[in-house]
Amino acid sequence: MSIPVLTTKLFIPPVRSNAVPRSRLVKKLAAGLSQPGCFILLSGPAGFGKTTLLSELAVRLDQKVAWLSLDEGDNDPVRFWTYLIAACRTNGERIGDAALSLLQTAQQLPVEVVPGILINDLAVFSRSLVLILDDFHTVQNEMIHKSFTYLLEHAPGNLHVVISTRVDPPWPLARFRARNQLVEVRVQDLRFRQDEAEAFLNRTMNLPLSDQEVASLTARTEGWVAGMQLAALSMQGRNNPSSFVKAFTGSNVYVAEYLVEEILLHQAEEIQSFLLKTSILDRLSGGLCDAVMGRQDGKIMLENLYRENLFVLPLDDERLWFRYHQLFADLLRARLQSDFPQEAVVALHQRAASWYEQNGFVAEAVNHVLAVRDFESAARLFEQYGSQMMTRGELATFLSWTDALPDEVIVRHPQIIIAKVWALTLAGEYRLVEPILKLAESYTGSKCDTPETCELVGFTAAIRAFFAMMAGEDDIALQLAERAEGLLPERSVHVRWLLPYTIGAAYRGRGQFEKAVEAFQRQAQMGEAHDNLIVWVTGVTGVALVRRAQGSLREVVQICHQALRRLDAYEAAGFGSLAKLETPLIEVLIEQNELDEAQRRLEGVTARMQNWPMPTDRLHSLLALIQLQTAQGDLIGALETLRVAKELKSNHAVLMNLARLVDLWEIRLFIEAGEFTSADRLLEALQPGTSRWVELRDYELLLLANLRLAQSRPNESQKILSPLVEELEVSERKPALIEALALQAYVWNEQKDRDTALSFFIKALDLAEPEGFVQVFLKFGKPMHQLLAMLSHHQFLETNQRRAYYVDKLSNAVGGRNVEQFEPPGPSGSVSGLVEPLTGREIEVLHLIAAGDSNRTIAKKLVITESAVKKHTGNIYGKLSVNSRTQAVASARQLGILSEQN
């Protein structure tokens, strides 16, 4: 469900045929547009013809023009961006699809997210686009300013932004000026010059004025276009304009007041009353004016005003909607306030509000009742339309409304409490939430006897469930979420989609994986049913992560590939918002030691996530990068990534479990680096085995066992591992079990009990082989090669070719990681033929052969035995189907394995 877009706000106001052409300014603007990386700022008070100038510019441009007239209601990031995107796609352009679906998830988004996605889309759009935002001074929201400056700073070359405003925006303008990124048109440029005043008064308005009179009018109004226009209107129909000019220029009463008085005096009483009473409206249509005036002639009145040039501007081609010139409206409103009793003004606003409500514009209705402090009507509108508007994600609007309502009104309306809490939850203001929930409970006493109180109780439970899950309190989260599901009505989609996510995460935390999968699948279906890609992807990613935790690596690959294909079909594969889907796949690729593909994919994910810095998603991808760098032996790189991850988690609210995982990786890297004392200290501080998430607890205990083994304290390692293996054997956590068994094998090997070591090792391999686990065995370096060497003559390999191939792969992987000298296993039957790629070590050997090195030299250089070199050479011959060193080199060059220079 999306925000209803008032298309009048996207309409480029037409240039009146008799308007004074301002070619000097249009030229200046057009020149600014042709400067790459520049934006245009049109800054000046009301009535200097900014909008008219922009219309003239828009008409003269060949490029696509996106126009947006902003108003006070756009002080909500969701509304602002929804309108801005709507302006860009008036002809069905594919711009901002992902951003729109994201805006509907109603989350408080980091400021760079939406502009980031747009920048991507615009770069793909490739045609030139001029984005004109009129009346930017109405935007006060800090988030909008931040994200808009992000857009300006990263605008692609084909986007040209033009801003008009009465007040300079709170941006780093000096910096933009210094970098030549800013073209300014300011009040001294906008003033009518003598020649323009003459063209306007004599030709456009057809007034027979002398040069002298034009000059004195220009001086009196200081070239203020609106003043000039008001003066011309006052003179129309007078027999003697000269005497008017004399009286006007002789007076020093405020220009606009003097002239509006003059103009109103010359209007029929009916028109005066119409102008004053309808001045409360930001937009005017016949029907709306009728409602406010209690008459039937609104449409005719507006047409007359337009014909007589009385400061109404059309907002569409059919002339259904108009607005007053802002300055004129201000002057009229000031008079309305001083000439009419307060009750009459209140009644006008109330009538406008009911018309807007009946016609589906709730925000406008609320603005009118709030303008006259009619809080009861505001509260009623809020209750009636609250949940619908929350579904659309108009959070800032909600919060500003609830802030406007006094507390005693709020406590009498449970729906308002719900709205406020939800908005605060999504805005991440967790601390403010609980007091309001308590307030809500004081209203219902946590009883559920009417649909209304049931919803409130269900809602309270859902919010508390979510926070409990975030804090790792899974039991409480599940209890509350299940309660909420039964109580929340179907229409509360905006809260409901959070429930399966909470439930899935909580079950995963407890290790009840099938239940977790069921919940995430439900979330994916919900996303599908409501056409929300982000909710769908979050569900699918949840399923994949659970399968990863179960060790079903092949299924993860399948799930992710299938989902990625669907994204391709939606043309959404490039969206940073959906990039997290690839993270479980990358983790599996790393585990299977397909490091090149993992790296390629991770680079893609990182690039896409630059425009999508949701802290949790980014942290996931950073953890994947640490895994990859560790697997590649790039410890320095991994430590640098860890630093970035730590910074991210300390600056943002992320899942507690994820935050702890960062700490655990720090310890792991310390162990890798041989810094056992530091690792010990950190691990002790974390109290390993106390994590509420079973996966984390396994990981903590395995780390500790690893550390003790590395510290040559195998007995202590054993004490941790024995009960752990026992527990894991009856669990679904296969990856942890594999690692625990492998560790057991190493421990027994250290204690010189080779048979027991081998039996554990074989158990681990048996579990690992079908899913292609590799990395888990590579953590330990030297002991791994000893175990593999022991295995090379074992019957384990002789009975099963698949196992033989697998162990071969493991041995190669250990070699690739540059562990000390080792004996590779004998060539197994399955390693032959062209389809089999060369291993890293074989390629190294091939390079040295190409360089003309003898087997002995190669052995020396690679620190392996001569017979190992021979075995490698034999493998190379087999794979390339050749019989000699020269043939091997030639064939490798042909296949591109070696470059011509080698």
Partner 1 sequence: MDMLWFYEIRVAGLLTDRWSDWFGDLKIQSDGSGETSLRGIVVDQAALFGVLNKIHALNLTLVSVTRYPDSYELDNSSFHHSSTALS
Binding site for partner 1 (CB under 8 A): 45-48, 166-167, 224, 226-227, 252-257, 326-327, 330-331, 333-335, 337-339
Q: How far is the CB of 338 from partner 1 (least distance, A)?
A: 4
From the CB of residue 663, how many other CB atoms can be counted at a distance below 10 Å? 19
- Cα 389 to Cα 532: distance, rounded to the nearest angstrom: 17
Q: How far is the CB of 45 from partner 1 (least distance, A)?
A: 4
- Cα 432 to Cα 426: distance, rounded to the nearest angstrom: 12
Which of 253/529 has CB closer to partner 1? Answer: 253
Q: How far is the CB of 143 from partner 1 (least distance, A)?
A: 19
Give the burial class of 82: count Cβ atoms within 10 A of its Cβ; 0-12 exposed, 13-18 middle, 19 or more buried. buried
Q: How far is the CB of 261 from partner 1 (least distance, A)?
A: 9
Q: Specify the residue for token string 């990182």.
A: 606
CA distances from 130 to 5, 7, 58 (A): 20, 18, 9
Alpha carbon dihedral 817, 823, 828, 830, in 10-degree steps, equals: 10
Look up residue 216 and give its amino acid. Answer: S
From the CB of residue 658, how many other CB atoms can be counted at a distance below 10 Å? 18
Residues β-bridged to residue 615:
none
Q: How far is the CB of 271 from partner 1 (least distance, A)?
A: 20
- Cα 588 to Cα 735: distance, rounded to the nearest angstrom: 11
Token pair recorded at residue 879 = 């794979």
Which of 333/652 has CB closer to partner 1? Answer: 333
Which of 154/333 has CB closer to partner 1? Answer: 333
Which of 45/613 has CB closer to partner 1? Answer: 45
Which of 145/515 has CB closer to partner 1? Answer: 145
Which of 97/330 has CB closer to partner 1? Answer: 330
| Cβ–Cβ under 8 Å, residues 680 and 665 | no
Q: How far is the CB of 448 from partner 1 (least distance, A)?
A: 42
Q: How far is the CB of 330 from partner 1 (least distance, A)?
A: 6
Q: How far is the CB of 396 from partner 1 (least distance, A)?
A: 18
Q: How far is the CB of 77 from partner 1 (least distance, A)?
A: 22
| Cβ–Cβ under 8 Å, residues 539 and 576 | no
| Cβ–Cβ under 8 Å, residues 849 and 838 | no
Q: How far is the CB of 242 from partner 1 (least distance, A)?
A: 23
Which of 225/553 has CB closer to partner 1? Answer: 225
- Cα 261 to Cα 27: distance, rounded to the nearest angstrom: 37
Q: How far is the CB of 264 from partner 1 (least distance, A)?
A: 12
- Cα 775 to Cα 624: distance, rounded to the nearest angstrom: 13
Q: How far is the CB of 48 from partner 1 (least distance, A)?
A: 8
Which of 43/627 has CB closer to partner 1? Answer: 43
| Cβ–Cβ under 8 Å, residues 229 and 219 | no
DSSP H/E element including 458: helix 451-470
Which of 252/799 has CB closer to partner 1? Answer: 252
Which of 140/562 has CB closer to partner 1? Answer: 140
- Cα 129 to Cα 162: distance, rounded to the nearest angstrom: 11
Q: What is the largest CA-CA distance in the chain?
A: 119
| Cβ–Cβ under 8 Å, residues 67 and 132 | yes
Which of 330/441 has CB closer to partner 1? Answer: 330
Q: How far is the CB of 580 from partner 1 (least distance, A)?
A: 42
| Cβ–Cβ under 8 Å, residues 734 and 550 | yes
Which of 339/647 has CB closer to partner 1? Answer: 339
CA pseudo-torsion sign 610, 612, 618, 620: negative
Phi, psi of 314 (to 5 degrees): -70, 145
- Cα 109 to Cα 709: distance, rounded to the nearest angstrom: 45
| Cβ–Cβ under 8 Å, residues 277 and 290 | no
b/e 773-805 (16+ beta carbons within 10 angstroms → b): bbbbbbbbeebbbbbbebbbeeebbeeeeebbb
Which of 230/671 has CB closer to partner 1? Answer: 230
